[in-house]
Amino acid sequence: MWILSADIGGTKLALALSKQEQPEILIKQMEVKSPQQSESLFEAIISGFHKLLEGEEGDVIKVAVGLPGILDLKQGLVVFQQNLPWRNFPLVQRLQTTFSKAEVFMETDMMTAANGEYKVRHFEKETFIYVTISTGIACCIIHEGKFLRGAGIPGEIGFSITGSGAYFEEVCAGPGLLNTLQQQTNEEGKLQQFFERYYEKDERIVPLIHEWQQEIAQKIHSFILLADPHVVVLGGGVMNHHPQIVDEISGLVDQYFSLPFFEHKKGRVQASLNKGNAGLIGAALL
- What pLDDT, on the 0 to 100 scale, is given for residue 186? 96
Q: Per-residue confidence at 20, pLDDT binned at 50, 70, 90? A: very high
Last residue of a domain, one of 67, 101, 135: 101
State the average pLDDT for the chain: 96
Is 116 a domain residue? no
Are both 179 and 259 inside the same structural domain? yes
Q: Which of 244, 239, 224 is nearest to 276 (CA)?
A: 239
Identify the residue with better confidence: 36 or 119: 119
Are both 220 and 135 inside the same structural domain? yes
DSSP assigned state of 19: E
Model confidence at 81: pLDDT above 90: no
Q: Per-residue confidence at 11, pLDDT binned at 50, 70, 90? A: confident
Are both 186 and 73 inside the same structural domain? no
Is 8 a domain residue? yes
Is 106 a domain residue? no
| Residues 6+ positions from 155 with CB-CB distance below 8 Å | 110, 138, 139, 140, 141
Q: What is the mean pLDDT of residues 39-44?
A: 96
Are both 77 and 133 inside the same structural domain? no
- What pLDDT, on the 0 to 100 scale, is given for residue 262? 97
Quote the Cα angle for 36-235-173, to 5°: 70
Q: Per-residue confidence at 57, pLDDT binned at 50, 70, 90? A: confident
Which CATH number does the domain housing residue 10 bear? 3.30.420.40
Residues 114-140: tens digit of each pLDDT: 999 999 999 999 999 999 999 999 999
Is 109 a domain residue? no
Is 117 a domain residue? no
User: Structurally, how many domains does the chain consist of?
Assistant: 2
Are both 163 and 84 inside the same structural domain? no
DSSP assigned state of 58: S
SS3 category, 212 = helix
* Sign of the Cα pseudo-torsion (270, 274, 277, 280, in order): negative
Is 108 a domain residue? no
Model confidence at 82: pLDDT above 90: no
Are both 68 and 209 inside the same structural domain? no
Identify the residue with better confidence: 214 or 9: 214
What percent of the chain lies above the pLDDT cut of 90? 92
Which ranges constitute the DSSP H helices of 200-276?
206-227, 237-240, 243-256
Are both 168 and 262 inside the same structural domain? yes
SS3 category, 164 = coil
Domain containing residue 228: 122-273
What percent of the chain lies above the pLDDT cut of 70? 100
Q: Per-residue confidence at 94, pLDDT binned at 50, 70, 90? A: very high
Are both 130 and 262 inside the same structural domain? yes
Are both 131 and 268 inside the same structural domain? yes
Are both 131 and 241 inside the same structural domain? yes
Are both 89 and 130 inside the same structural domain? no
Are both 147 and 68 inside the same structural domain? no
Residues 157-213: tens digit of each pLDDT: 999 999 899 999 999 999 999 999 999 999 999 999 999 999 999 999 999 999 999
Is 46 a domain residue? yes
Q: Per-residue confidence at 153, pLDDT binned at 50, 70, 90? A: confident
- What pLDDT, on the 0 to 100 scale, is given for residue 83? 82
Q: Is 198 exposed, middle or buried (0-12, 13-18, 19+ CB in 10 A)?
A: buried
Model confidence at 265: pLDDT above 90: yes
Identify the residue with better confidence: 36 or 211: 211
How large is the angle between the packed helices 191-199 and 174-185, nearest 10 degrees?
70
Is 158 a domain residue? yes
